[in-house]
């Protein structure tokens, strides 16, 4: 198969330059430096299918399958293939690239939660979608609406394994029943872009991606860096606000070992300042987040993007009410969809600015995440980030 490479990338910030970076650079600058989130953007777009990925505890990181040049180089890359670095939302100046593509400008230094047009608190009008949704059920309602109105054919979301209701796995949802079955949040990692493979097998080409910022920044980066046809199936991007995901081991090692809470008996979980767990027997438990930090997944530790800043619409659960979705409308397409959903009564919406606590947390948690971005990496995500306030004893407080 011959892959035609575009010669140059139009500038995100400055003059056009020839894009030659391939797996070798991705491996040296992202995968082995702690920047890799495990989003699987490179995996699903590699035109030669030579990037492997294990969706399992302690893995969630890409590796090269062919060994001719060792694990740190790619024979196709040596011949000119550069798709993986064009698709990687942590490679070099990814934030300005995605900003420029989506919004025609980079974020202002004070725009901690990224660029947006409208802020709403929303909830699905349909009771079942509202109940099964993690917060207001907006994501479930929106995916259903997008299929009904022929914007997309299917969505890349997170389902669970047949024998384990809390082991997340990437799933392609094609109708309202499958969308409803995958509602709610799992707080372990799920590389939803991997569901693109199922879509390809089924001949589906018009898709929505649901994912945390680490995943939803990948399509705009691909488009900006002219990755070509691999970026075409991503028609609508729904972001999930996220501070971190946890290792799967948190279930046996903390929840069960210390609190006697067995995974199979859990009914729902949420994070609202504390880790909240509802059990099937009706009991409710709160676990201090500080205790959970030891199980933070490696790929989240350097992530600067709390607010999923490059989605069409980003969604979260912060604020005073438990059953509304904080809805950040970012792109023109996102605005068109949300405005139509409000107008036809699919969702109920009220201005999010009414909820001062939600606004405070959105800014604060965005700042906390941006402070994690390491100094050796491209500086854009750290621009404008205020330093932590010193404590009375002159030391800086812990990040989280
Ligand atoms: C790991 C994680 C961490 C989060 N952290 C925060 C936070 O700190 N603050 C905050 O305000 N909001 C956070 N959220 C977002 C919040 O939990 C809700 O997903 C969001 O408010 C949308 O609610 P909803 O009722 O509209 O979504 P729903 O209608 O319930 O739809 C949720 C969608 O998320 C998908 N999904 C579920 N779990 C995962 C996963 N692990 N990976 C990828 N996709 C998944 C589902 O497949 C579904 O499509 C987080 C979400 C996740 C998955
Ligand atoms: S250089 Fe091309 S073939 Fe090699 S890993 Fe990257 S995308 Fe795949
Ligand atoms: S951040 Fe995503 S695209 Fe980049 S190397 Fe890691 S898995 Fe691949």
Q: Given this model, what pLDDT does residue 321 score?
A: 82
Listed in sequence order, the DSSP H helices in the chain are 23-26, 41-45, 75-78, 83-87, 94-103, 127-132, 138-148, 176-181, 196-201, 213-216, 218-224, 250, 257-259, 289-292, 332-343, 356-370
Query: Where does the pLDDT of residue 398 fall: very low under 50, low under 70, confident under 90, or very high at 90 and above?
Result: very low
Would you say residue 378 has pLDDT above 80? yes
The answer to whether 66 and 22 have CB atoms below 8 angstroms apart is no
Q: How far apart are CA 75 and CA 78, in angstroms?
A: 5
- CATH 3.40.1390.10 holds for 19-103: no
Mean pLDDT, range 330-342, rounded to an integer: 98
Q: Whose CA is nearest to atom 4 of ligand 3?
A: 88
Instruction: Give the 3-state secondary structure of residue 221.
Output: helix
Q: Given this model, what pLDDT does residue 6 score?
A: 42
Query: Where does the pLDDT of residue 70 fall: very low under 50, low under 70, confident under 90, or very high at 90 and above?
Result: confident
221 within ligand 3 shell (Cβ under 6 A)? no
352 within ligand 1 shell (Cβ under 6 A)? no
Q: How far apart are CA 225 and CA 83, in angstroms?
A: 9
Q: Please return the burial class of 299, using the count of CB atoms within 10 Å of its CB with bins 0-12, 13-18 and 19+.
A: buried
> For residue 208, how far is its CA from the centre of ligand 3 (angstroms)?
19
Q: How far apart are CA 72 and CA 78, in angstroms?
A: 12
Lowest-pLDDT choice from 136-140, 232-236, 392-396 = 392-396
The pTM (predicted TM-score) of the whole model is 0.94
Top mutation candidate among 134, 157, 338 for ligand 1, by most atoms within 8 Å of CB: 134
Mean pLDDT, range 190-213, rounded to an integer: 98
Mean pLDDT, range 248-255, rounded to an integer: 96
> For residue 46, how far is its CA from the centre of ligand 2 (angstroms)?
5
Q: How far apart are CA 22 and CA 279, in angstroms?
A: 47
Q: Given this model, what pLDDT does residue 4 score?
A: 38
The residue among 369, 365, 371, 373 whose CA lies nearest residue 386 is: 371
Instruction: Render pLDDT for 149-189 as a digit per residue (tens, 0 to 9).
Output: 999 999 999 999 999 999 999 999 999 999 999 999 999 99
> For residue 231, how far is its CA from the centre of ligand 2 (angstroms)?
15
Listed in sequence order, the DSSP H helices in 92-149 are 94-103, 127-132, 138-148
Query: Where does the pLDDT of residue 322 fall: very low under 50, low under 70, confident under 90, or very high at 90 and above?
Result: confident
Would you say residue 7 has pLDDT above 50? no
Top mutation candidate among 3, 4, 23 for ligand 2, by most atoms within 8 Å of CB: 23
Would you say residue 64 has pLDDT above 60? yes
> For residue 123, how far is its CA from the centre of ligand 3 (angstroms)?
33
Average pLDDT of the chain to the nearest whole number: 93
Which atom of ligand 1 has the smallest separation from the CA of 124? 26
Top mutation candidate among 156, 170, 240 for ligand 1, by most atoms within 8 Å of CB: 240
Query: Where does the pLDDT of residue 392 fall: very low under 50, low under 70, confident under 90, or very high at 90 and above?
Result: low
Would you say residue 45 has pLDDT above 70? yes
Strand-pair partners of 351:
120
Would you say residue 367 has pLDDT above 90? yes
Q: Given this model, what pLDDT does residue 15 score?
A: 59
> For residue 98, how far is its CA from the centre of ligand 2 (angstroms)?
21
Q: How far apart are CA 61 and CA 245, in angstroms?
A: 14
74 within ligand 2 shell (Cβ under 6 A)? yes
How many Cα atoms are found within 13 Å in the side-chain-facing hemisphere of 208?
32
Unique residue bearing structure tokens 């409710």: 284
pLDDT above 70: percentage of residues in the chain:
94
Cα–Cα distances in angstroms (integers) from residue 85 to residues 92, 196, 226, 313, in the given order:
9, 18, 11, 25
Which residues, at least 6 apart from 225, have a Cβ–Cβ distance to it below 8 Å?
9, 19, 85, 86, 87, 97
Q: Given this model, what pLDDT does residue 390 score?
A: 72
Ligand minimally distant from the alpha carbon of residue 40: 3
Would you say residue 13 has pLDDT above 60? no
Q: Given this model, what pLDDT does residue 141 score?
A: 98
Q: Which two tokens stand for residue 281?
A: 């027997």
Q: Given this model, what pLDDT does residue 393 score?
A: 58
Q: Given this model, what pLDDT does residue 57 score?
A: 78
Q: Given this model, what pLDDT does residue 397 score?
A: 44
186 within ligand 1 shell (Cβ under 6 A)? yes
Lowest-pLDDT choice from 115-124, 229-238, 391-400 = 391-400
Instruction: Give the 3-state secondary structure of residue 364.
Output: helix
Q: Given this model, what pLDDT does residue 16 score?
A: 67
The residue among 38, 39, 13 whose CA lies nearest residue 92 is: 13
Q: At what angle do helices 332-343 and 138-148 cross, to 10 degrees?
A: 90
Q: What angle do CA 123, 177, 310 make, to 5 degrees?
A: 50
Q: Whose CA is nearest to atom 1 of ligand 3?
A: 36
Would you say residue 363 has pLDDT above 60? yes
The answer to whether 155 and 202 have CB atoms below 8 angstroms apart is no
DSSP type of residue 27: I
Q: Given this model, what pLDDT does residue 394 score?
A: 52
Q: Given this model, what pLDDT does residue 1 score?
A: 32
The domain ranges of the chain are: 19-103, 118-377
Distance of CA 74 to the CA centre of its chain: 27
Ligand minimally distant from the alpha carbon of residue 66: 2
Q: Is the dihedral of CA 57, 63, 68, 70 positive or negative?
A: negative
Mean pLDDT, range 236-240, rounded to an integer: 98
Cα–Cα distances in angstroms (integers) from residue 56 to residues 191, 206, 209, 344, in the given order:
11, 28, 21, 41
Cα–Cα distances in angstroms (integers) from residue 176 to residues 141, 153, 387, in the given order:
9, 11, 45
Which atom of ligand 1 has the smallest separation from the CA of 245? 1
Q: Whose CA is nearest to atom 50 of ligand 1?
A: 242
Q: How far apart are CA 222 and CA 367, in angstroms?
A: 26
The residue among 386, 385, 387, 382 whose CA lies nearest residue 96 is: 382
Mean pLDDT, range 293-314, rounded to an integer: 97
Query: Where does the pLDDT of residue 12 fall: very low under 50, low under 70, confident under 90, or very high at 90 and above?
Result: low
Mean pLDDT, range 80-94, rounded to an integer: 98
């Amino acid at each position: 198969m011959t892959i035609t490479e575009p010669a140059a990338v139009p500038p995100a910030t400055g003059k056009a330059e020839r894009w030659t970076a391939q797996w070798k650079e991705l491996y040296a600058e992202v995968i082995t430096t702690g920047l890799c989130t495990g989003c699987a953007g490179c995996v699903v777009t590699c035109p030669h299918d030579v990037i492997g990925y294990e969706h399992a505890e302690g893995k969630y990181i890409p590796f090269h399958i062919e060994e001719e040049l060792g694990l740190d180089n790619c024979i196709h890359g040596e011949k000119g293939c550069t798709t993986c670095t064009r698709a990687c939302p942590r490679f070099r100046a990814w934030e300005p690239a995605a900003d420029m593509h989506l919004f025609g400008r980079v974020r202002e230094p004070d725009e901690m939660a990224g660029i947006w047009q409208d802020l709403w608190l929303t909830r699905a009008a349909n009771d079942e979608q509202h109940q099964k949704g993690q917060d207001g059920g907006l994501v479930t309602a929106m995916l259903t609406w997008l299929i009904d109105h022929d914007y997309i054919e299917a969505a890349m979301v997170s389902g669970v394994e047949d024998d384990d209701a809390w082991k997340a796995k990437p799933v392609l949802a094609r109708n309202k029943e499958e969308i409803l079955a995958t509602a709610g949040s799992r707080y372990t990692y799920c590389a939803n872009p991997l569901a693109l493979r199922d879509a390809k097998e089924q001949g589906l080409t018009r898709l929505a991606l649901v994912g945390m910022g680490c995943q939803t920044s990948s399509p705009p980066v691909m488009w900006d860096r002219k990755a070509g046809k691999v970026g075409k199936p991503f028609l609508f991007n729904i972001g999930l606000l996220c501070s971190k995901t946890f290792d799967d081991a948190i279930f046996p090692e903390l929840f069960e070992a210390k609190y006697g809470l067995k995974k199979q008996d859990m009914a729902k979980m949420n994070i609202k300042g504390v880790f909240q767990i509802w059990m099937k027997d009706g009991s409710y438990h709160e676990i201090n987040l500080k205790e959970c930090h030891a199980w933070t997944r490696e790929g989240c530790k350097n992530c600067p993007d709390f607010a999923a800043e490059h989605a069409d619409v980003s969604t979260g659960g912060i604020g005073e009410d438990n059953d509304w979705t904080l809805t950040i409308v970012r792109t023109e397409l996102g605005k068109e969809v949300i405005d139509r959903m409000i107008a036809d009564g699919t969702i109920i919406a009220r201005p999010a600015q009414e909820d001062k606590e939600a606004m405070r947390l959105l800014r604060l948690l965005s700042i906390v995440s941006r402070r994690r971005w390491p100094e050796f990496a491209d500086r854009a995500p750290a621009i404008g980030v205020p330093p932590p306030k010193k404590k009375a004893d002159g030391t800086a407080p812990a990040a989280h």
